[in-house]
Amino acid sequence: MFHDRTQAGAALAAAMPELRKKANVTVIGLARGGVEVAAELAKLLDLPLDVLCVRKVSTPGHPELAMGAVAPQGERYTNRRVAGRLTPTQVDAAYDKATMQAREMDERLRAAMPMMLVGRTAVIVDDGAATGASIRAALAAVRNAGARQTVIALPVLPRLAVERLERECDRLVTLKAPQRFHAVSQFYEHFGEVTESRVMALLANAKPAVELTV
């Protein structure tokens, strides 16, 4: 188990020492929990940090069942098996709501500034992944922002999801790939809520991302 998200970020940094101070690399934490992992990784590797406000899209009537995920500019991933149970109107309404939430969070955390990743390597970090929906939406978002290469860095990922995600990015780094997987939280001793104020504090203390320096 990881002690907490900070320790998980340190462990990820230790797995990628070749990225330390490397030019044209930006670490991108998924809001909110992923930012705590990403901040430690970015600090230890001396890399700029940014945040991506991806929101999961809940299934109408079953809020715990994720239909997919969406990024602030509308990039989305959809689990077609789940979405196929709903009408197109229900699917559109669910994505519209989640997109609005993502954009509102993006405005609060980073003033809705464009994510400038042209020619850069984007290292996408979360505290773990169960279905990979948020990661796939994030991949679409960073590619639309011009990322030249994509690296996914996760402390924990179900073994069944490893091969699928490896095919969708340039590099996948994961520290644990268990066969039995219930929830990301089971792999942490401390897995408390990460608030928006905590995210803003982490960003303020980090090396700024490229778009925040112009």
> How many Å apart are CA 80 and CA 72, to the nearest integer?
21
pLDDT: which is higher, 4 or 80: 4
19 and 98 both lie in a single domain? no
Q: Which domain does 101 fall in, by range? A: 56-108
104 and 138 both lie in a single domain? no
60 pLDDT above the threshold of 80:
yes
200 and 126 both lie in a single domain? yes
User: What is the model's pLDDT at position 214?
Assistant: 33
100 pLDDT above the threshold of 60:
yes
132 and 176 both lie in a single domain? yes
**The model scores a pTM over 0.75:** yes
Strands 55-59 and 62-70: antiparallel
- Say which residue the tokens 């930006």 belong to: 26
Strands 121-125 and 49-52: unpaired
91 and 188 both lie in a single domain? no
CATH number of residue 83's parent domain: 3.30.1310
Question: What is the count of structural domains for the chain?
Answer: 2
Q: Using an 8 Å Cβ cutoff, are 128 and 187 in contact?
A: yes
130 and 155 both lie in a single domain? yes
Dump pLDDT digits (tens) for 132-191.
999 999 999 999 999 999 999 999 999 989 989 999 999 999 999 998 888 899 999 999
34 pLDDT above the threshold of 90:
yes
User: What is the model's pLDDT at position 211?
Assistant: 45
CA distances from 122 to 66, 118, 129, 148 (A): 25, 10, 18, 8
